[in-house]
Amino acid sequence: MLPVFIASECVNGESSSIAIDLIRGGSSASPFYKVQQSFHQQRFDKFFQPRGLDLAFPVQASNGQYIARISIGSPPFEFHGIVDSGSDLLWTQCLPCELCYNQTGPKYDPAASSTAKALPCQSDQCKLLSSAFCAPDESSSVCNYTYGYGAGLSKGVLLSDTLTFGDDPVPDVVFGCARNTTGNWAPESMGLIGLGGGPVSILSQLSDKIGGKKYSQCLVPFKTDPSVTSKLILGGEVSGDDVVLVPIVPQPDPTFYSVTLSGISVGDKLLPFFSNGSQVNKGNVIFDSGTPPMLLPKEFRQRLIVELRNAIPITPDPSSSDEKLCYAGKNNVDAPVVTLHLDGADMPLRAVNTFVEVSDGVYCFAVDGVDGEGGIIGNFAQSNFLIGLDWDKKTVSFKPADCTKEEA
């Protein structure tokens, strides 16, 4: 989920990691159910090598997004936020709310938390944000923020409060108290958790506690059985046989996990990123967990559709067109492997990554076309991979895995 603009943005001295379960909507582990969590929440610990304290909290998948459950404040207030590696700010709708979207759960009330603190405009935390501002009519001179996305807008004040992961509290974490939100936000979410590389992201704020500015994940595919959960671990790493690395390309905006995509193969047919063979810009695509489909330039996407039509030996669904490729069946289409050729390694995508069920028995190509010369590797493509994103080493590491299995 790309931010459009930003107006503001050790336990006992030892590093540890923070484990986050990613829960499918409707799961027995969902925050909207009162029964015991399923065993799947524990299945990935051995892959991500948590060191020291394991601060676990669940995250549910809903309509193509992954929603984390943590707690804010004292006493703890349960918060469900969309996990988004394409932005930095953690924010939640809070009281008093002037214009908020309709969310399923209650709103955070900073007045009810004994550890909540407003941030003055001249504070170091406020100065971390490029365009923090003070409202001229506010005598308290608190740090205001505005944070925009392609999907909407969050406006409010910056606070610090205690965040609790499982049973373990972390004091003085900076986040946005949103009092004006616009856009199409999932009602079961209360806000968003930015995991980008900027200074205000919780990944940056907690880096001393989790052993580095990094995290790892294994996302279950879209429409997996709701009882099966995913996991994300702040401070985690991916290791073992068959793990490959691609370099993160630094950008002026420190938020993004930018890598270089030179082309894509459909089966054995290689399609360069640009049809005229021009060189791509370094860091032309980003890994973004907050965007479900892959996004590619329209002309490149159209070439992929042509090759997939030729490679899949069944007639497309009647809903298909020149701009849309869908197939009907009881199971997903038997599509060829679609391989992303990244600088340093290849990323082979199976049908579960490239076609998603949009209605009963209809599976459509999970890539959208955009204007411009860049793209996004969204969470559909990231599912069923063990992925480690590491700002300290400036690498993205990954290996194919069945994220629905305890043994991946």
pLDDT on residue 348: 98
Residues 133 and 255 in one domain: no
92 confidence band (pLDDT: 50, 70, 90) = very high
Residue 343: name the closest of 407, 280, 406 by CA: 280
Residues 133 and 196 in one domain: yes
pLDDT on residue 125: 87
Tell me the residue type at 244: V
Question: Could you tell me the CA-to-CA distances from 334 to 221, 308, 309, 348 in Å, in that order?
Answer: 16, 11, 12, 15
CB 152 within 8 A of CB 184: yes
Residues 263 and 305 in one domain: yes
Residue 88: name the closest of 186, 200, 238 by CA: 200
Mean pLDDT taken over the chain = 84
**Length, in residues, of the chain:** 408
Q: What is the pLDDT of residues 146-203, one digit of tens each?
A: 998 877 889 999 999 999 987 789 999 999 999 999 998 888 899 999 999 999 999 9
Number of domains in the chain: 3
Residues 365 and 270 in one domain: yes
The runs of H, that is alpha helices, within 75-222 are 124-127, 202-205, 207-210
The answer to which of 30-39, 140-149, 215-224, 399-408 has the lowest mean pLDDT is 30-39
DSSP states along 108-127: B-GGG-TT-EEPBTTSHHHH
Q: Is 84 assigned a catalytic role?
A: yes
Residues 38 and 59 in one domain: no
How far does the chain reach from its first CA to its final CA, in angstroms?
A: 28
Residues 374 and 287 in one domain: yes
Distance CA 394, CA 101 (A): 36
pLDDT on residue 50: 34
Residues 313 and 345 in one domain: yes
In a domain, 219, yes or no: no
Distance CA 210, CA 216 (A): 12
Q: Is 253 assigned a catalytic role?
A: no
Distance CA 383, CA 349 (A): 9
pLDDT on residue 400: 95
In a domain, 218, yes or no: no
In a domain, 289, yes or no: yes
Mean pLDDT of the region 281-304: 96
CA angle (110, 111, 114) in 5-degree steps: 85
Q: Catalytic one among 84, 88, 317, 390?
A: 84
Return all residues near 162 (Cβ < 8 A) that are at least 6 apart. 72, 73, 74, 76, 113, 115, 169, 170, 171, 172, 173
Q: Catalytic one among 21, 54, 88, 288?
A: 288
User: How deeply is 262 buried, as exposed, middle or buried, from its count of CB atoms within 10 A (0-12, 13-18, 19+)?
Assistant: middle
Helix (H, G, I), strand (E, B) or coil at 72: strand
Can you give the residue range of the structural domain that contains 370?
237-400
Residue-wise burial string across 140-171, b where 16 or more C-beta atoms lie within 10 A, e elsewhere: eebbbbbbbbebbbbbbbbbbbbbbbbebbbe
In a domain, 224, yes or no: no
Question: Could you tell me the CA-to-CA distances from 378 to 86, 218, 292 in Å, in that order?
Answer: 10, 13, 5
In a domain, 124, yes or no: yes
Residues 171 and 261 in one domain: no
CB 114 within 8 A of CB 196: no
Higher pLDDT, 11 or 159: 159
In a domain, 115, yes or no: yes
Tell me the residue type at 170: V
In a domain, 220, yes or no: no
Mean pLDDT of the region 73-98: 94
Residues 27 and 117 in one domain: no
What CATH number does the domain containing 279 carry?
A: 2.40.70.10
pLDDT at residue 55 is higher than 50: no
pLDDT on residue 137: 60
Residues 277 and 342 in one domain: yes
In a domain, 217, yes or no: no
Residues 249 and 383 in one domain: yes
The answer to which of 20-24, 142-146, 263-267, 350-354 has the lowest mean pLDDT is 20-24
Higher pLDDT, 193 or 33: 193
pLDDT on residue 2: 63
22 confidence band (pLDDT: 50, 70, 90) = low
Residues 340 and 244 in one domain: yes
